[in-house]
Amino acid sequence: MEQVKSSCTAPIFEKLRHEVPNPRQREFFRSTARHTAYGGARGGGKSFAMRRKLVLLAMRYPGLRLLLLRRTLQELRENHLLPLQSDLLGYAEYKRDERTFLFPNGARLTLGYCDSDSDVLQYQGAEYDVIGFEEATHFKEDWLIFISTSLRTTKKGFIPRIYYTCNPGGVGHAYIKRLFIDRRFREGENPDDYRFIPARVYDNKVLMEADPDYVKRLEALPEHKRRAHLEGDWNVYEGQVFEELRVDPTHFADRLFTHVIEPFQPPDSWPRYRSFDFGYAKPFSVGWWAKDGDGRLYRILELYGCVPREANVGVRWTPEEIFREILRIEREHPFLKGKHIEGVADPAIWDASRGESIAQTGERFGVYFEKGDNRRVAGWMQIHNRLAFDERGIPMLYIFSSCREFLRTLPILQYSRTHPEDVDSELEDHIADETRYLCMRIPIRPAPQKRGLAPVYYDPLDRPVPQYALRTEKRESDEKQNNHSV
């Protein structure tokens, strides 16, 4: 160990003498906020910044305990373990069985991964002064929250902190976006504790000089991918299912090129619908809709059974409690009071194998449903069809701006990794499910694609044929046919 301690010729010192971090990386290095996120576009130098930040902290503070996490062990090895082994050779001792670097001052940098619910348990009871989530949006929200409970310190004057690097997209997208982009804080979350540092590839001069074509490749991407990967737009990202969903407050009133509009009293002549997806441990969802004379659907009201501040956790209401509340709303709310309401629901609620079915319970309360068409991919396509704008900028599905749970959950849905045409069912898809039941109940055809005129080429043989020539050709053909018959 003495050799390790006294070796100032280790690669890390040479690198620190010559490295020139870009301005955004310097902001990241200097941040002492309890929660610092560095991210946005690809190619901003985020992985390097995370590694270097944790190493610098370990070198500065004796006995510091740090944890660096990636989603999978393979990602951890390629992106951090191998570079750190190279950088810290001859300075920090690597304990392979613990995946931990031991620094001469007693600081410990542990590398970890979390790819499943069971992986979370390995951090239960652990204590860290600093935690780094690399590609934080790849972690589920409940994983991020649970592992964060391991953050605590006994060091006087040191602020325990968490660092995040991230790109738009991933199962944790909504959580990171809420905290750092939208800054919508809940009870117990102090806005002063959260700092976001945007990253763009143009900040990374080293990459741009080494591979100038990388920027060109990003610039050549289709619009939505370019916005996510090049510009770091958190409203659209790779893998997003309903990337066409538009929320434009400047058009809430005129309803053009937006799916979200200001609430209004639907005319009495418009039919009303109720879509339902049951849940107990997971949220249940009820959506109320109106349909105008053109067949356009309006989501006018919703009831979502989710525990506040806990995404995708149900309130555990019994069917009786759910239907009692549905009945109350339909008797009292001005959008629904006195209206005939047609219901559609997941066919699973007709399962009576364990006694009275959920559908039968609803009937006891006077809440009726028809069995919905549960074909998933076809249902998603019906939603896509309705979200498409016509040439005037008008879609076939609008959402009242008061339907906040729809607007929270639908944009973050992603495609399944195992079934590319389907939504990842591990995500909070309950509102999307009841929406597709209704869309399958009232299906529409996709809008016809505009076709351009075919190019016209000059062909000297393509000239009008005189009528007498047509008659002559027909007479000769008839004579040949008659001779053949004889």
Dig out the tokens for 456 from the structure: 């016209």
pLDDT digits (tens, 9 = 90+) for 330-349: 999 999 999 999 999 999 99
**Torsion from C-alpha of 456, 458, 460, 464, nearest 10 degrees:** 40
| Listed residues 194, 229, 264: the one ending a domain | 229
pLDDT digits (tens, 9 = 90+) for 11-46: 899 888 888 899 999 999 999 999 999 998 787 789
Do 359 and 222 have their domain in common?
Answer: no
Do 166 and 256 have their domain in common?
Answer: no
Under 8 Å between Cβ of 153 and 160: yes
pLDDT at 372: 98
Report for 158-172, 209-223, 379-393: range of highest mean pLDDT = 379-393
Higher pLDDT, 207 or 464: 207
Do 175 and 305 have their domain in common?
Answer: no
| Domain-located, residue 383 | yes
pLDDT digits (tens, 9 = 90+) for 153-188: 989 889 999 999 998 888 898 899 999 999 989 888
The residue-averaged pLDDT of 213-234 equals 80
Q: What is the CATH number of the domain that holds 265?
A: 3.30.420.280
pLDDT at 206: 76
**Torsion from C-alpha of 382, 386, 391, 393, nearest 10 degrees:** -150
| Domain-located, residue 20 | yes
pLDDT digits (tens, 9 = 90+) for 256-289: 999 999 999 999 999 999 999 999 999 999 999 9
| Domain-located, residue 460 | no
| Domain-located, residue 240 | no
**pLDDT exceeds 70 at position 351:** yes
Ramachandran angles phi, psi of 436, nearest 5°: -70, -30
Predicted TM-score (pTM) of the model is 0.72
d(C-alpha 431, C-alpha 276), whole Å: 8
Query: Which secondary-structure segment (H or E) carries 452?
Result: none
| Domain-located, residue 330 | yes
Do 196 and 289 have their domain in common?
Answer: no
End-to-end alpha carbon distance in the chain: 111
Count of the separate structural domains present in the chain: 2
Do 282 and 161 have their domain in common?
Answer: no
The residue-averaged pLDDT of 289-295 equals 98
User: Which residues contact residue 79 at a Cβ distance below 8 angstroms, ignoring those fewer than 6 apart?
Assistant: 47, 70, 134
The residue-averaged pLDDT of 238-255 equals 90
**Domain encompassing residue 28:** 2-229
pLDDT digits (tens, 9 = 90+) for 352-366: 998 999 999 999 999
